[in-house]
Structure 1
Amino acid sequence: MNLESFIEPEQIKGELYNLCQFNRLPTGILLLGPEGCGNLKLGIQFIKKLLKIDILAHPDIHFLFPLPNLPKNKSSKLTDYFYNKWHNFLVNQPYGSFLDWKKKIHYENKACKISLEQVEEALKMINLKSYELSHKVVIFWMLEHLNINAGNKLLNVLDSPPKRVLFLFIGENEKFILPTLKSRLLIIKLKIISNKIIAKYLIRKFNLSKKQAQNIVSVSEGNLNTIFNILNNEKNNFNINFIFWMRMLFNLTNKLESFLIWGSKINSWNRDKKKSFLLFSLDIFRIAHRYKYDKNYINPFFASKNFNWKQFCRYINTKKVRIINHLISDVIKGIDRYYFFLFHFLDLSFNIKTILFNK
């Protein structure tokens, strides 16, 4: 079982691959779907199959993606920098979001667009003789961030397209894509993969329990980007933070200032890391509950000699875990809505202290 089989529903896979087999390629194809649906990954698989190649770093393939406005005297050097970052992004974050990309290039607080200059550069490339492939391919990622002037330039090309050139567009939000541009493209719409299918994949691929997989899926709402961000967070770091959290709560009166400083650090994490840490903590409470009634069960997350696991488990019982489970789950579900996450995290912490340690 592999994830690519999930992000290629049979009807979509069949439609794309028939285009390859019967040489009925349109000039432009738009793979449209919400964040984390895998449309970029699917587009890459399609191009590889079409051109019979294993890598996309090729002179006949050109990527366009949102970039900040570049100073004229530095644009060439910065463009090389961004292309290196982009190829790293493709390899390591094929389900990454627009915000992930902006963070990677350290422009998360700046506007980024696909500019007219980028489009003109791509058009120069496609007018050159093909290096060795059957087609030249231009791949636009995040089409909704196409500059208006760039869009108008592109319309002229699509009206009189060059031979053996394919434009592949990847987009998430149909409302922000030029209607005149959409009318010239073959649009293939992808949906979020069902929770049941993703949970099944996580159980087999990562050896997760059914409950762990269901927790991750329920938080991610089918967004593959969120799921892999959760899975990629380092468990050891979470171990340390969970231990610190419990110790602070146990003696909160004398350590309130240190606790607030630590809480501010948690608040600075991105939303996926916050969710991941709280999910990890949720699992620890459940494991402690299981250990309470099965002393042969070993906690798979803890190898710390500085944490008395048996002593911690004495504070655990079924009623407490049920309440804590409800409290943590509510905070996880609300992370995307909370503007003041720190306030809700502190409230959660005080409630856990009352439930666990107060007699």
Structure 2
Amino acid sequence: MTKKNQMNIESFIEHEKIKGELYNLCKLNRLPTGILLLGPEGCGNFKLGIKFIKKLLKIDNLAHPDIHFLFPLPNPSSKLTDYFYNKWHKFLVNQPYGSFLDWKQKIHSENKDCKISLEQVEDALKMINLKSYELSYKVVIFWMLEHLNINAGNKLLNVLDSPPNRVLFLFIGENEKFILPTLKSRLHIIKFKLISNKIIEKYLIRKFNLSKKQAQYIVSISDGNLNTVFKILKNETKNETNPLNINFIFWMRMLFNLKNKIDSLLIWCSQINDWNRDKKKSFLLFSLEIFRIAHRYKYDKNYINPFFNYKNFNWKQFCRYINTKKVSLINHLISDVIKGIDRYYFFLFHFLDLSFNLNKILFNKSNY
């Protein structure tokens, strides 16, 4: 393999075309005041945004008085204290593909509602009104724009309508639906997609010297999410200890023998009910993915699945209960519960109802 080929595979991971678009904005002196890098978790938009800022300002370290980060914090702690600042810079270095849930876990706020507050925005605006320390631009970076407080968003709109000179606002977001439309209309939006599985597979083989089987296994679990890819590489998501895997298997075993497991199901569902909203969503989305993988595996025995190394879980037997009609119904049921999580309804009741319906669809003899 030549050095050129190695560079090519690296550039795919870094969205070379989008990087070129950003750098051309600088070369042509058409840099907008606000840029939104929008894409799903693990797409690499945040990491590329950081590289772009370093390139623009010709610096190696973003800990600089002319650069200001804003990120979601627990409501009672809306000010950026030294504690959160130190946690953030460690997160920035160690988890450049990290998710919102990863950040909440980092600051021990899994069960708290975290937002970018009005106070944070006001502090940033004070910074940009000061004389530049030494850089050509003052830069304000918003991470997870969809978690911007409404009052903070309205404050920001006024600034974007009459922006100061030599100030750049860089926004990182995942979910376009939850970003204020009036804010989006004032931004230059660049949309990211997940890296293809084939590209990630080649990257893992060449960069980390993995076997094809090892790379395919990681790709099958991550499905384009680089956050998941690098967690697996760091042994942070080992199959035998991953709580999502453990809970899914426990759930399916209870449903398979539900007549004798009603009490256990009630206790377990009560434990799930105590999880925060993000963790509930993660588990249900993970479960959807497992059903999708089982459906594909049933019709393609060569497809790599994430349970092949579980000694106490019979993946082949489980897949026998799966078919296209069942997966379609399950997808509808689980998606409805996920949508309802943000409506603050009584989750326990709906999760129990989901469990009974899954038992009926999967394991009872019927027309499914």
What interval of TM-score do these two structures reach, taking the shorter chain for normalisation? 0.5 to 0.7
Residue 198 of structure 1 and its aligned partner are, at CA, apart by 0.3
Which residue is equivalent to 1:60?
66
Structure 1 gaps of 5+ residues are 240-259, 286-319, 344-359
Which residue is equivalent to 1:230?
232
One-letter code aligned to 1:92: N
Cα gap change, 1:34 to 1:25, in 2 (>3 Å): same
Runs of 4+ in 1 over 4 A off after TM superposition: 234-239, 267-275, 278-281, 324-327, 336-340
Which residue is equivalent to 2:150?
148
* Counterpart-to-counterpart distance in 2, 1:22 and 1:106: 44
Structure 2 gaps of 5+ residues are 1-5, 242-263, 290-303, 324-329, 338-350, 356-368
Which one of the candidate residues 152, 165, 174 is aligned to 2:176? Answer: 174
User: May I ask how many residue pairs the two structures share in their alignment?
Assistant: 295
Which one of the candidate residues 71, 88, 91 is aligned to 2:90? Answer: 88
* Counterpart-to-counterpart distance in 1, 2:136 and 2:152: 26
Instruction: Report matched runs for 1:281-320 at 5 Å.
Output: 282-283=308-309
Which residue is equivalent to 1:246?
none
Is the partner of 2:112 in helix, strand or coil?
Answer: coil
TM-score by length of 1: 0.68
TM-score by length of 2: 0.66
Is the partner of 2:73 in helix, strand or coil?
Answer: coil
* Counterpart-to-counterpart distance in 1, 2:48 and 2:237: 30
Residue 31 of structure 1 and its aligned partner are, at CA, apart by 0.2
Residue 220 of structure 1 and its aligned partner are, at CA, apart by 1.4
* Counterpart-to-counterpart distance in 2, 1:17 and 1:279: 40
One-letter code aligned to 2:142: F
Residue 14 of structure 1 and its aligned partner are, at CA, apart by 1.7
Structure index of larger Rg = 1
Residue 4 of structure 1 and its aligned partner are, at CA, apart by 5.5
Quote the sequence identity (%). Answer: 74
One-letter code aligned to 1:57: A
Cα gap change, 1:7 to 1:183, in 2 (>3 Å): farther
RMSD: 4.4
Which of 224-233 and 149-158 deviates more?
224-233
* Counterpart-to-counterpart distance in 2, 1:89 and 1:325: 38
Which one of the candidate residues 36, 43, 56 is aligned to 1:37? Answer: 43
2:134 is equivalent to residue 132 of structure 1: yes
* Counterpart-to-counterpart distance in 2, 1:4 and 1:29: 24
Which one of the candidate residues 173, 193, 196 is aligned to 2:195? Answer: 193
Is the partner of 1:121 in helix, strand or coil?
Answer: helix
* Counterpart-to-counterpart distance in 2, 1:279 and 1:230: 15
Preserved CA contact (<8 Å) 2:141 2:169 = yes
* Counterpart-to-counterpart distance in 2, 1:79 and 1:213: 41
Which residue is equivalent to 1:25?
31
Residue 216 of structure 1 and its aligned partner are, at CA, apart by 1.5
Residue 6 of structure 1 and its aligned partner are, at CA, apart by 2.3
Instruction: Report matched runs for 1:327-346 at 5 Å.
Output: none
Which one of the candidate residues 105, 112, 116 is aligned to 2:118? Answer: 116
